[in-house]
Structure 1
Amino acid sequence: MFTKIGRAAAVAALLTLTLSSCAGGAADPAAPASESASESSDGYGTTEGAQLMVADSELGEIVVDAKGMTVYMFDSDTQDAGESTCEGQCATNWPAVTTDGDPVAGEGVTGELGTITGVDGATQATLNGWPLYYFAGDSAAGDVAGQGVNDVWWVLSPAGERTAE
């Protein structure tokens, strides 16, 4: 039986191992890709016209979805390239923000919204040319646990620019 400290250490070690697979875009081709159905098992789903809005956070004003979940950009992607580089285990840890229609800008979002075809074929939302992702480690609206992970994952400002720590 694990003690509380032992359990916490085991969880931390597992999270560190899992997150390290997304550091430089090297993907495990055998790992499962993220789901993009309307109600996926990971809690992230495709929405009709994904809405992005501005929320106040400990990092200042950032972009979130209609449920208040923080969205991120990935340094391994190339702005305006029209494609995502996050696949395999990376896509499991960083599910794409997907939409069935054009994304909608809520009040305060000034960056240009668009879409690309994601690595799994679903329509992925973009902001200012950056493909958008969620972080599986964020469990509630306003969480920003993905900020700065491996120095390649970042929240976005309302203009669609990378927000430094």
Structure 2
Amino acid sequence: MAFTTRRGTATAAVFAAGLFLAVSACSSSSGSGSSSSSPSSSMSTSAGASAAAVHTVKDASLGTIVVNGKGFTLYRFDKDSASPPASHCTGACATLWPAAPATTASSVQGVDHKLIGSVTGTNGAKQLTINGWPVYTYSMDTKAGDTNGQGVMGTWFAVTPTGGKAAGTSGSSSSSGGGYGY
């Protein structure tokens, strides 16, 4: 039993160190981000949106935000650019913040189709943009409705239907990024 406890502690330490390095690669500035999830019950989806690849939901803390077809929050990165659209999340950052794959405007609900586009991401694949901003999911969001990426490093924000930053903080009582040093 002692071996299992040590192994679990070692695994957690390695994970935390890797996460810290990945987050550090995303931004050189320090900041704090909200880091916990909004309960799924605090989000509501418009009728028929579940069939859309990308759609909007009303989050109790953040307002109307954009999610992918599985209900995972989409985020924008302040170090990217919208005009011209360009993604600057590479390496460990891209592992922690996977690019949202481009989709056709016809499979989007709740976002003006004129605002949907794509850019060639840092991995060479087409990445979804909303009003020019490349969008991403966050690997620390483990279930639909999570908003753990909101405010991380002061540069990551849930994206609104106009491509803007969602105001507010993640909907839970936890703060400080889950204790991973950011």
SS class of match (2:85): coil
Residue 83 of structure 1 is matched in structure 2 by 86
TM-score by length of 2: 0.66
Contact kept? 1:138, 1:145, Cα under 8 Å: yes
Separation (CA, whole Å) in 1 of partners of 2:119 and 2:18: 32
Q: Which amino acid aligns with 2:101?
A: T
Letter in 1 for 2:127: Q
Q: How does 1:2-151 map to 2 (within 5 A)?
A: 2=5, 10=13, 11-24=15-28, 51-57=53-59, 58-99=61-102, 101-103=103-105, 104-106=107-109, 108-110=110-112, 112-151=115-154
Mapped pair 1:159 → 2:162: yes
RMSD, matched Cα = 2.6
Where does the alignment leave 5 or more consecutive residues of structure 1 unmatched?
Answer: 26-49
In structure 2, distance between residues paired with 1:68 and 1:7: 32
How many residues are paired up? 139
In 1, the alpha carbon distance for the partners of 2:157 and 2:116 equals 17
- How far 1:109 moved relative to its partner? 1.9
Cα distance between partner residues in 2 of 1:128 and 1:143: 23
Structure 2 unaligned spans of 5+? 30-51, 170-182
User: 2: CA distance between counterparts of 1:12 and 1:88?
Assistant: 17
The residue identity in structure 1 corresponding to 2:149 is: G
TM-superposed deviation, 1:122: 0.7
Contact 1:24 1:76 (8 Å CA) reproduced: no
| Structure 2 Cα separation of the partners of residues 159 and 98 of structure 1 | 18
User: 1 or 2 for the larger relative contact order (CA 8 Å, sep ≥6)?
Assistant: 2
Bigger proportion of residues as helix = 2
TM-score by length of 1: 0.72
Asked whether the equivalents of residues 56 and 66 of structure 2 are also in contact (C-alpha less than 8 Å), the reply is yes
Superposed CA deviations along residues 3-25 of structure 1, whole A, max 9, x for unmatched, are: 7x957973555433432221149
